[in-house]
Structure 1
Amino acid sequence: MIGGTPVAESEQQPASEILIVTGMSGAGRSTAANALEDMGWYVVDNLPPQMLGPLLDLSGLAASALPRVAAVVDVRGGSLFAELPQVTRALRSAREQLRVVFLNASDDVLVRRYEAVRRPHPLQGDGTILDGIRRERERLKSIRETADIVIDTTDFNIHQLATHVVDLFGERGAAQHTLTILSFGFKYGLPVDADMVADMRFLPNPFWDESMRSLTGEDEPVRQFVLAQPGASEFLDAYTAVAMPVLAGYQRENKRHSVIAIGCTGGKHRSVVMAVELARRLTEAPGVAVRVAHRDLGRE
């Protein structure tokens, strides 16, 4: 029995991975939760400890739909939070996949973070931010001592913390960044979500060749024509060399998605060919999943 809630029977199928995320207020629980959610975890924030049992029972019954579950539990739960050590011990005995992650930071860094956002510490009451931090440390002492993973965020910014969480809990071999290479036509406007834009109008336009006018960049005659033009291969080589360190930097900064937009006049011939060819080269970028989309290919 956990806080009045029965623990699931051992024969129930548990979720493949279960995390309880807790720790000091201001140490980065929200950043960690967001990083987990971006990786496909099912994240529940500010969950009373007494609800952990039912939540994990649900994850066991729906393991395929909820393969990875993270519950953020903290002092915002008030008096209910006091039962977390008891709840955690009971759940550990029933579930081998359960891990507790504790986020910590030094007092002075926590004070600065609270002062930066101009919010009170949840436990400071009529005292100072530091008073609240000290009260919270005392309440969390036993939880920290039994945590499976302690992450000290004192020297982390939010991007470094998110990257660290990805390193710890991301699927091995899974892409850390998704890149969309989008062909488009300038006459229909720039893509609003583009991180980088390249202009293919320096290449001759197949549109003016009547034999290719009705074709697109997905057709082999157009592809051969575009790639045979002076500057096409040089552009692909140079742009690939430029994009590789950018994509590596995006991963270091925990930017999970980006768009490279490749444009020509109508988005039908040159941009389509060059987007596909650039994608083929950038699939070699470590940790990057590449997809190609053609925004204006179906337009008249």
Structure 2
Amino acid sequence: MSAPEELTPVKPPESEMLIVTGMSGAGRSTAANALEDHGWYVVENLPPQMLLPLSHIVARTPQPMAKLAVVMDVRSKELFASIREALAALTAAGVRYRVLFLDADDDVLVRRFEQGRRPHPLQGDGRVLDGIAAERLLVADLRTMADLVLDTSTKNVHDLATTITDLFSESGPVTLRLTMMSFGFKYGLPVDANFVADVRFIPNPHWVPQLRPLTGLDEEVARYVLEDNGAEEFVRRYVHALEPVLDGYRRENKHYATIAIGCTGGKHRSVAVTEELARRLAQLPKTKVTTHHRDLGRE
């Protein structure tokens, strides 16, 4: 018997599904709680095969939910393996959805499991690291499909809740949200960056004795960095190059991007340039910009 015609969901244009997933221990529960605090209807531990039926149920409630979040994990490997097919079914049915993928460094995940005295859901008789490795293989495809990858390695539960609030608490049309991140190359590349730029071509304030103890947030350092001819030209051209990219993101309904600016230690040049880029990009229409200085304060 063929499926009844009414099983095809008809979503109102303002209704949308947010799929929250990612690595175990990276903060899915914290994200779910923060979303609930801001009016999202949250369904946890849903198998991928239930996404389409859920969208049908929600679409036919007397007052369709405009903010529906579904939290999915890998506790059932066999069910989770069909996530790509489940998302394709949503797309074919005209259901708008976004994917938020939470990630963290392996050593951070291990520490969180040890602190919570919990086994990893996929470790079996092995170590926590064995479970993490198995999970990374299982979610690799989903990570590449995500609209937003959020690295929670340096975030505690309060930081993550604040980030979720900043990203998802507003109602009405969603603007493009940019995170401008400074970092130091010697501490590694940010795993969640969509774009990475290197500003080590700018003269380094580290070698100026009176500037060394300061940071790119201090006016003296910012002036030293940004008054360099190469720095001003870079900032101007980089903003110009990003404008059509960000316009394309809006057209494709992509709401988030992380732009990372790196120098050697993430203290002087990258911080100053990140702040200036954020100031200029915030002037673009329908764009909300926040800054994050990943390595500021490291020795």
TM-score bracket for this pair, using the shorter chain length: 0.5 to 0.7
Matches within 5 A, 1:285-296: none
CA distance in 2, matches of 1:7, 1:68: 22
- The AA in structure 2 aligned to 1:87 is A
Q: Which residue of 2 aligns with 1:160?
A: 159
Q: 1:24 to 1:94 in 2, by over 3 A?
A: same
**Partners of 2:16 and 2:97 within 8 A in 1:** yes
Comparing 37-46 and 61-70, the one that deviates more: 61-70
The unaligned stretches of length 5 or more in structure 1 are 174-300
Q: 1:10 to 1:102 in 2, by over 3 A?
A: same
Instruction: Report the 3-state secondary structure (helix = DSSP H, G, I; strand = E; otherwise coil) of the residue aligned with 2:70.
Output: strand
Q: 1:73 to 1:7 in 2, by over 3 A?
A: farther
Matches within 5 A, 1:144-155: 144-155=143-154
**Partners of 1:14 and 1:63 within 8 A in 2:** no
- The AA in structure 1 aligned to 2:87 is T
Q: Which residue of 1 aligns with 2:82?
A: 83
Q: Which residue of 1 aligns with 2:20?
A: 21
Q: Which residue of 1 aligns with 2:138?
A: 139
Q: 1:135 to 1:168 in 2, by over 3 A?
A: same
Cα deviations by residue, 1:68-90 (Å, 9 ceiling, x for unpaired): 11111110233111111110122
**Cα offset, 1:146, TM superposition:** 0.6
Which protein shows a greater Rg?
Answer: 1
Q: 1:8 to 1:166 in 2, by over 3 A?
A: farther
Query: Is 2:59 aligned against 1:60?
Result: yes
**Cα offset, 1:8, TM superposition:** 4.7
**Cα offset, 1:54, TM superposition:** 1.0
CA distance in 1, matches of 2:33, 2:135: 23
**Cα offset, 1:97, TM superposition:** 2.5
Q: Which residue of 1 aligns with 2:128?
A: 129
- The AA in structure 2 aligned to 1:72 is V
**Cα offset, 1:7, TM superposition:** 9.4
**Partners of 1:19 and 1:71 within 8 A in 2:** yes
The unaligned stretches of length 5 or more in structure 2 are 173-299
- The AA in structure 1 aligned to 2:144 is E
Instruction: Report the 3-state secondary structure (helix = DSSP H, G, I; strand = E; otherwise coil) of the residue aligned with 2:75.
Output: helix
**Cα offset, 1:65, TM superposition:** 4.5
**Partners of 1:49 and 1:83 within 8 A in 2:** yes
Instruction: Report the 3-state secondary structure (helix = DSSP H, G, I; strand = E; otherwise coil) of the residue aligned with 1:154.
Output: coil
Q: Which residue of 2 aligns with 1:113?
A: 112
Instruction: Report the 3-state secondary structure (helix = DSSP H, G, I; strand = E; otherwise coil) of the residue aligned with 1:75.
Output: coil
Q: Which residue of 1 aligns with 2:293?
A: none
Instruction: Report the 3-state secondary structure (helix = DSSP H, G, I; strand = E; otherwise coil) of the residue aligned with 1:126.
Output: coil
CA distance in 1, matches of 2:14, 2:48: 18
Cα deviations by residue, 1:226-275 (Å, 9 ceiling, x for unpaired): xxxxxxxxxxxxxxxxxxxxxxxxxxxxxxxxxxxxxxxxxxxxxxxxxx
CA distance in 1, matches of 2:78, 2:50: 14
**Cα offset, 1:121, TM superposition:** 0.2
**Cα offset, 1:96, TM superposition:** 5.2
Q: Which residue of 2 aligns with 1:42?
A: 41
Percent identical residues: 55
Cα deviations by residue, 1:3-32 (Å, 9 ceiling, x for unpaired): x99995364536612111110000000000
Instruction: Report the 3-state secondary structure (helix = DSSP H, G, I; strand = E; otherwise coil) of the residue aligned with 1:88.
Output: helix
**Partners of 1:121 and 1:129 within 8 A in 2:** yes
| Count of residue correspondences | 170
Cα deviations by residue, 1:38-91 (Å, 9 ceiling, x for unpaired): 111110110011111111111211272522111111102331111111101221
- The AA in structure 2 aligned to 1:16 is S
**Cα offset, 1:95, TM superposition:** 3.2
Q: 1:15 to 1:50 in 2, by over 3 A?
A: farther
Q: 1:44 to 1:108 in 2, by over 3 A?
A: same
Comparing 31-40 and 87-96, the one that deviates more: 87-96
Instruction: Report the 3-state secondary structure (helix = DSSP H, G, I; strand = E; otherwise coil) of the residue aligned with 1:162.
Output: helix
- The AA in structure 2 aligned to 1:13 is P
CA distance in 1, matches of 2:62, 2:88: 22
**Partners of 1:36 and 1:43 within 8 A in 2:** yes
- The AA in structure 1 aligned to 2:120 is H
- The AA in structure 2 aligned to 1:93 is A
CA distance in 2, matches of 1:29, 1:92: 24
Instruction: Report the 3-state secondary structure (helix = DSSP H, G, I; strand = E; otherwise coil) of the residue aligned with 1:76.
Output: coil
Matches within 5 A, 1:198-277: none
CA distance in 1, matches of 2:35, 2:143: 20
